[in-house]
Structure 1
Amino acid sequence: MSSPDNTSPVNPIPPVVVALFLVVIGIEAAFSLGARGLIGGPGAVGWRSAAIQSYGFNSDIMKWMLQNGVYPGEHMIRFVSFIFVHGTFTHALFGGAMLLALGKFVGDVFSGWATLLLFLASSVAGAAIFGLVAGGQPWLIGVFPGVYGLIGGFTYLMWLKLGQMGAQQYRAFTLIGFLMGIQLFFGLVFGGNGDWLADVGGFAFGFVLSFFLAPGGWSKIRAKIRHR
């Protein structure tokens, strides 16, 4: 048994979540410092724009691949690489903060590999939905589709908890409803693009995927199938 004196009063953030956060903030730090001429020389001013062009996700590129049946690696990587490119420092910082918060909650229950898979798979699913629906929209960049996938995992855990308590399980969707309401408000007031489609897609995929990734989730599903 471990000594009570050695027990931390706060659960640490899962290492996989910390690693993702450091990658996001590290890349953003390079862009921000380069834009101010502090690193990289004169060419560093255009690092962000070049990264968006090379690693951002675009619906036109996806539709070109589908129409021609050609899937080059330089474009397929965009389904994941767009996560780590942001438009501004504030964009990256806000996304990173949400990644830490939701990643800790989900990572405290899910295993490390399940948390990473939930984040990445939700990002890919969100990008795919964006590519199929949001024709002619600007570049999709940023960590948010993956974060919304983690919100899907959070919602699943709350949905289970409310069910165990005998409470109304629809209350588990309060957070996503609140966030979507904020996005709708800002979209109507300031204008917006179709990136909310990627967020909704990431959330929906993350929620469904959590049935399989949660501890014992696949075993429960298999048992129900056998019972039927």
Structure 2
Amino acid sequence: MAHDEPPFEPPVNPLPPVVVVLFLIIAGVEAALTLGEAGLIGGPQAVGWRLGLVRDWGFSGDIFDAMVSQGRWPLEHLARLLTYPFIHLTFTHALIAIVLMLALGKMCAEVMGQFAMLALFVLSGIGGALAYALLLDDPVWLVGAYPAVYGLIGGYSFLLWRRLAGTGSQQFRAFSLIGVLMGLQLVWSLFADVGNGWVAELAGFVTGFALCFIAAPGEWAKILTRLRQR
């Protein structure tokens, strides 16, 4: 008599497709750059691939300021708002961003939905870059997924903030993660020049948190209810 086989349960919950796509893009770009720098692909010119990508697809506050002053908005430069999160300065720079994106992206996509998670990632990246350009006069190019990932941290913080409000707990605890990360940035700045990227990251967090008032489950319905009551 055959025994019924127990249902198969994967040891790791599958990632939402949108998170997988973002992972493949970021990891694919970094893999090509790392292999090129190691001399395994692309020949001698591959050593300059990373700087070329930063120049062609990274975000420049100076270029954005020029567009504002001239009132001209070429698509090739507007595209930088969307492309800069997929370029990183080193393998480690990319690896940390990927790990954070996988963990936070999975949580946001499962709770809010994949479209909301993608919107959070993209719009937080844009918000971080705009803050970097408008609040600073820094000639250093902005690259890396961190402002977008910090937007996902904003999403995580919003969900925790809402849950704590429902249980009557102290809501400021929802901001412990961003507080720790900003604290680590401050400590690290005592030993090395960390630059002004933290401005874009903090702006990404604020953007992500604010977007959740629309994107989080049930929030849009609350807004519509309030509008009908007026």
Aligned to 1:47: 49
Identify which of 197, 211, 214 aligns with 2:213. Answer: 211
Cα distance in structure 2, aligned partners of 1:197 and 1:162: 27
| SS across alignment from 2:191 | helix
Deviations 1:170-192 (A, max 9, x none): 11000001101111111232122
How high is the sequence identity, in percent, across the aligned residues? 47
Aligned to 1:167: 169
Relative to structure 1, is the Cα distance of residues 69 and 158 closer, same or farther in structure 2, using a 3 angstrom cutoff?
same
Aligned to 1:105: 107
Identify which of 89, 101, 123 aligns with 1:121. Answer: 123
Structure 1 position 9, deviation (Å): 6.3
* Matching of residue 84 in structure 1 with residue 89 in structure 2: no
Aligned to 2:69: 67
Q: Where in structure 2 are there 5+ consecutive unaligned residues? A: none
Cα distance in structure 2, aligned partners of 1:4 and 1:126: 48
| Residue correspondence of structure 1 range 117-156 to structure 2 within 5 A | 117-156=119-158
Relative to structure 1, is the Cα distance of residues 9 and 161 closer, same or farther in structure 2, using a 3 angstrom cutoff?
farther
Aligned to 1:227: 229
Aligned to 2:180: 178
Cα distance in structure 2, aligned partners of 1:194 and 1:105: 28
Kept after mapping to 2: 8 A contact 1:79/1:123: yes
Cα distance in structure 2, aligned partners of 1:56 and 1:219: 37
Structure 1 position 7, deviation (Å): 5.0
Structure 1 position 64, deviation (Å): 0.3
Aligned to 1:96: 98
| SS across alignment from 2:42 | coil
Cα distance in structure 2, aligned partners of 1:120 and 1:190: 29
Relative to structure 1, is the Cα distance of residues 225 and 168 closer, same or farther in structure 2, using a 3 angstrom cutoff?
farther
How many aligned positions are there? 226
Amino acid at match of 2:194: G
For the pair shown, the structure with the greater C-alpha radius of gyration is: 2
Amino acid at match of 1:106: C
Q: Where in structure 1 are there 5+ consecutive unaligned residues? A: none
Cα distance in structure 1, aligned partners of 2:74 and 2:32: 27
Cα distance in structure 2, aligned partners of 1:12 and 1:226: 40
Structure 1 position 219, deviation (Å): 1.1
Amino acid at match of 2:181: L
Q: TM-score, normalised by structure 1?
A: 0.95
Relative to structure 1, is the Cα distance of residues 60 and 162 closer, same or farther in structure 2, using a 3 angstrom cutoff?
same
Aligned to 1:35: 37
